Each structure stands twice: as structure tokens, then as C-alpha cells.
Amino acid sequence: MSPASNPYAPTATTHALPSYLQADKLGPWGIYLQQVDRVTPYLGHLARWVETLKHPKRSLIVDVPIHMDDGTIAHFEGYRVQHNASRGPGKGGVRFHQDVTLSEVMALAGWMSIKNAAVNVPYGGAKGGIRVDPKKLSIGELERITRRYTSEIGIIIGPTKDIPAPDVNTDEQIMAWMMDTYSMNIGETATGVVTGKPIHLGGSLGRREATGRGVYTVGVEAARHIGLQIEGARIAVQGFGNVGGIAGKLFAEAGARVVAVQDHGGTIYREAGLDVPALLFHVKQTGSVAGFPQAEALAHDAFWGVDGDILIPAALEQQITEANAGKITARMVIEGANGPTTPEADDILRDRNVLVVPDVIANAGGVTVSYFEWVQDFSSFFWSEDEINARLVRIMKEAFGAVWQVAQDNQVTLRTATFIIGCKRILHAREMRGLYP
């Protein structure tokens, strides 16, 4: 029997493609695996444990049936992946999107492990999602899908097991329903089971803005290192929601010009800089930047060629690719989204001397304040917004400083440097805990 057809052949050479994904495209998980491969030569003796990072600890696929308003019953597919728990419970958001796949959730969970370790919060990494376009659901359907999904993944989540949070298309209201459903099922109010909750339900001040604030904080630090002035800098932002919108607002307040914004509805441009508060209001009213009166509309692909100093992808994965990386004029890319740049695009940007501040450090502000929220819930003692922002900024600056240093010492990109720090912390914990049994 040839090794290929032998089901009992050693699996070490299968490159971590679980059997349930054999028929699927590798997608973002393939990108994550390439990133891990790039860091392996820098892991020293810990490289012995690196396969750990290529095998998600636990992946749950659930059926989510709900009553639709028209009387029919619809079934949706949901996922929760716990990528790693060496340093603590699983932690990571839940996204509702029609294109979510298991491979994507696995990658997002892997990036959470690296991110949580890079900012040194005591968590492993996890992520969840439902394959649904929530914009097509009524409020009642949205509540029912959230509650049924929470019940289905309830067997693996919990305040000390795995703590979900908001991500693409999920918000404070959805977290409130998740918290309530979990609490109803266990017979006690467990605020610490999710983060990103409303303030009056154990949420934290500053959590909503935290990811954008973190993007801004590391962006300013990175700009300082390369001698880029924020005042007057031209900025292009993709995605103008909770991450891109807040980061854009903070950069504009610091004197930068947000000249171009793209979202799912369209692309807009204003040479003198967009009025960011007015644009945020327009997005709140209409759901998109399209049609904003004080700007001109651009063709979708023109966005990448906009003349700028800083580019902030803050939407979805695989946006900066081989096809458009050569057009980018910015000196710096700050990844507000998870996984927006493919490895091929990373190489092109590096060769063109464009600094990429990777997702796993740039957008870690959200989970950092999630950690603060979780700690506050456990102690039932709540901090002031100033205290939260000050602690957030301190952690982000320190973590970014360490990443910058490792990048200099090893002459590697900031992504590889962040992976070096994150992977070493995870694998060190893994090694000390040892293999059970």
C-alpha cells in the first residue's frame, strides 16, 4: 500500500490539514500556517512543540435552527474553535457573516492565540461564527439565532473556559443575549462569560472604542520610529465600523487627514480630508459611507492607489494581495482587521519598504480591554474610563516596543517579530505544562 493510500501512515507530513477540511480550501488557515512556518526558525528549542500551533485544540460545528418570522424553520451553521489553552481560557470574538467558514474561524482563533500572548493577557485563543447575513434578519430572528447558537456552544464556553466577545457584525446587544442565555442555562448570572457587554450588564467603559484606540496608539508609535509626522499625514481607511471609524476619528483629532474611506457600500474621497464626525453620523444613519455628500465617489479598485501616508485595512481578511500590494503608496499599513494581508503581499510590501504593523499587535486593544472587563466582572469592582484608557495605552506601547526590538534584533518584519514573542510565550507554557497523559 502506498503511503498516500494508507490511512494509518504518520500524519506529520499532512501539514496540519485536519481530515474534516480535506475537501475545503485552506483559505485563511493556510495563511496562518505559512505565518507559523516563517517564525519556526526563530523558536530555538521550542520549535519541538510548534505543531501544537498548527492543530486547533477543539473545533465545534453546530446546527442552529430557528423559527423565521414567515413561519418557516431555517438552519444555519455555527462554529466555535478553541485554538489553544496553554496560557489560559479561550478568548476571542464571534462573527456573523454569510461567508464565514470553519477554515476562517480556525485562522481567526489561531491569530487570537498569538495576539493574546503578544500583549501578555492570560488567555489562549478562540473564535466563533455563524454563517448568516445578519442584515437580512429581523431583530427577533437575530435574537433567536444568537440564543440558539449560545446554547449549542454552551457545552464548551464559560467564564473560566472560553469567553466570546464582539467581532464583525456582532455588538453589545448580541453579547447581552449571549450572557443571558448562558446564565439561564446554568441557573446563575454569569457576567464573565462574554465581554463587550453593555455597561449596565457588567461591561467596561472604553471597551467599544478600545480596538480603534489601540490601532491609533501603535500607529503613532510606529510612525515615530520611521519619522512619519501624524499631523498632516494622509490616511486611507477600509471599513468604517467600530475599528476603522474610531481609529480614523482619533487620527483626525491628532491632525491627520482622512482622505479616503471604503466600505461594503462604496468608496469616497476628499483631498482636503473628510469631516470624520459627520461621516460617522452618516454611517450610523445609512449603514455605509456611500452617498456622503461632502466627498467624491471613487471606483472600488481606485482605493488602493490613493496617494497616502498611512493605510488602515479595518474590514475583512485577504484584502491586500499580490494584485494590489504594488499600488499602495503609503509608508505604513496598520492592520485593524484580522488577516487583511496575504503572505505574498507581505513580501511585496517589505521589498517596497512599506512598514506593516500586523493585526496580532495592531488590533490587540480590543481584547486587552476585554481582559479588563473580565477582571472587573470577577471582582465586581469597576474602573473609571481614564484608568482603563491609561492602562490600555501602557500595555499597547510596551508590547509594541518589545515587538519593534525583536524585529530589529532579528532583522525580521513586525509580523514575524510579533509571532516570535507570541509563539515563544505559548510554547514555553506548553512545554512547562507537559503532555497529558
Q: What does the binding site for ligand GLU look like in residue numbers (CB under 6 A)?
A: 91-93, 165, 167, 195, 338, 363, 366-367, 370
CA 147/CA 435 separation, integer angstroms: 36
* Residue type (1 letter), 105: V
Minimum distance of ligand GLU from residue 91's CB (angstroms): 5
CA distance 123 to 106: 16
Report in angstroms how near the CB of residue 87 gets to ligand GLU at its nearest: 14
Distance in angstroms (rounded) separating the CA atoms of residues 210 and 216: 10
Residue 169 or residue 267: which is nearer to ligand GLU going by CB?
169
DSSP states along 122-189: S--EEEEEEES-GGGS-HHHHHHHHHHHHHHHTTT-BTTTEE--B-TT--HHHHHHHHHHHHHHHTS-
C-beta separation of 195 from 207 below 8 A: yes
CB 291 within 8 A of CB 281: no
Instruction: Determine which one of 54, 57, 91, 127 is catalytic.
Output: 127
Nearer to ligand GLU, 309 or 317 (CB): 317
Q: Is 291 helix (H, G, I), strand (E, B) or coil?
A: coil
Between 267 and 389, CB nearer to ligand GLU: 389
Nearer to ligand GLU, 35 or 370 (CB): 370
Q: How far apart are CA 401 and CA 420, in angstroms?
A: 14
Exposure class string for 219-236: b at 16+ Cβ within 10 A, else e:
bbbbbeeeebebeebbbb
Q: Taking the complex as a whole, how short is the minimal distance between the CB of residue 208 and ligand GLU, in angstroms?
A: 11
Nearest-approach distance from CB 17 to ligand GLU, in angstroms: 24
Residue 191 or 267: the one with the smaller Cβ distance to ligand GLU is 191
Give whichever of 212 and 248 is closer to ligand GLU, judged by the CB atom.
212
Known catalytic residue: 249? no
Q: Is 318 exposed, middle or buried (0-12, 13-18, 19+ CB in 10 A)?
A: middle
CB of 320 to ligand GLU, least distance (A): 18
Q: Which residues are catalytic?
A: 127
